[in-house]
Amino acid sequence: MKLNRLLLALALATSAASLGAAPLADTTAVFAKPDAASPAVAYLKAGTEPALAANTPAPAGWAAVTLAGPHKVYAANKDISKSLEVHAGAAYRTEPKTDAPVIAFAEAGDKAEISGLHGKWTEFKLSKNIIGYIKWSGAPAKTAPKTVATPAPAKTPATTVATDVPAAAAIVIPGKAAPMGDGGSSALPRLFQGKLVSTYSAFHPKRPYDYQLNDNSGERYAYLDVSKLLAIEQFNSYIDRTVVVYGTAKAVTGTKDMVILAESLQLR
């Protein structure tokens, strides 16, 4: 009996080892299909041991690999149901645009959590494994790395927010007025952080905007204009949560208030 258990353990260990691979010598592109003309959906850094997907066939010169989640993906708002689920068969893309690479297709039961809004697109954190393909000949593939210009990290106070936004954006600390340029508005879009709150009140039905950002003390420091964020149903799930808004601030005419014209919004 002990011998049988030993042999079984040895067989399982050998099987598990066969799913691994030697570390990659160079940064290697992971393609959506076993075709170098298909878009690259990810890159494996040099030294990474690719997780070979043993049950997924691939043509000669290629290997299927498993990309473990979570993944940041984007789905078109038109493909999202009223229950905030992505319709089965809809494309998950690597960027919020129609020509971005498709990293996977939605399936019923996918665990996808909304993490941002980008106009006609919604950002999700997709918690499932994805299959991709790398050039493979039984040894680490040597694929030219994708050249990406990486700016030096800026030195910012501990209270600033680091998110995926254009490099020109600035950080505005909650509770402080946004810097204003000509005409009482900021010259460039900026980052704003605060708690998203509805302005609805049964005792004060008249309100200039439906939402506002509150600072850490619970006081409003800016209204929020969400007319550019088309996914209002998804947007409502952010109420009473801390968010980071990318947009342009301007003064509300005739008042001392400020309003932010939101271009995108993400959970903090």
Quick one: fold of 171-267? OB fold (Dihydrolipoamide Acetyltransferase, E2P) (2.40.50)
Q: Which residue ranges make up each domain of the chain?
A: 71-127, 171-267
Peptide bond preceding 70: is omega within 30 degrees of 0, i.e. cis? Answer: yes
User: What distance in Å separates the CA atoms of residue 203 and residue 171, rounded to the nearest whole number?
Assistant: 35
List all residues 6 or more positions away from 121 whose beta carbon is below 8 Å from its beta carbon: 74, 75, 76, 77, 96, 97
Counting every residue written for the chain, the total comes to 268
User: What distance in Å separates the CA atoms of residue 41 and residue 70, rounded to the nearest whole number?
Assistant: 14
pLDDT of residue 152: 55
pLDDT of residue 138: 62
Q: What is the dihedral of CA 127, 129, 132, 137, to 10 degrees?
A: 140
pLDDT of residue 74: 92
pLDDT of residue 92: 92
pLDDT of residue 16: 39
List all residues 6 or more positions away from 6 whose beta carbon is below 8 Å from its beta carbon: none
CA separation, residue 54 to residues 134, 189, 214, 246 (Å): 13, 47, 51, 43
List all residues 6 or more positions away from 224 whose beta carbon is below 8 Å from its beta carbon: 196, 209, 211, 212, 213, 245, 259, 260, 262
Rg of the chain over CA atoms, in angstroms? Answer: 24
215 within 8 A of 150, measured Cβ to Cβ: no
pLDDT of residue 93: 92
First to last CA, the chain: 55
Within 10 angstroms of residue 45's Cβ, the number of other Cβ atoms is: 11
Q: What is the pLDDT along the chain (268 residues), one digit of tens a residue?
A: 444 554 444 444 444 344 456 788 888 888 888 888 888 888 888 888 888 887 888 888 888 899 988 898 999 988 988 778 899 999 999 899 999 888 889 998 899 888 888 888 888 999 988 888 998 776 443 444 455 555 555 544 433 333 444 433 333 444 444 444 444 444 577 888 888 988 887 776 677 888 888 888 888 888 888 887 766 566 677 888 888 888 888 888 888 888 888 888 887 7
Read off the pTM.
0.51
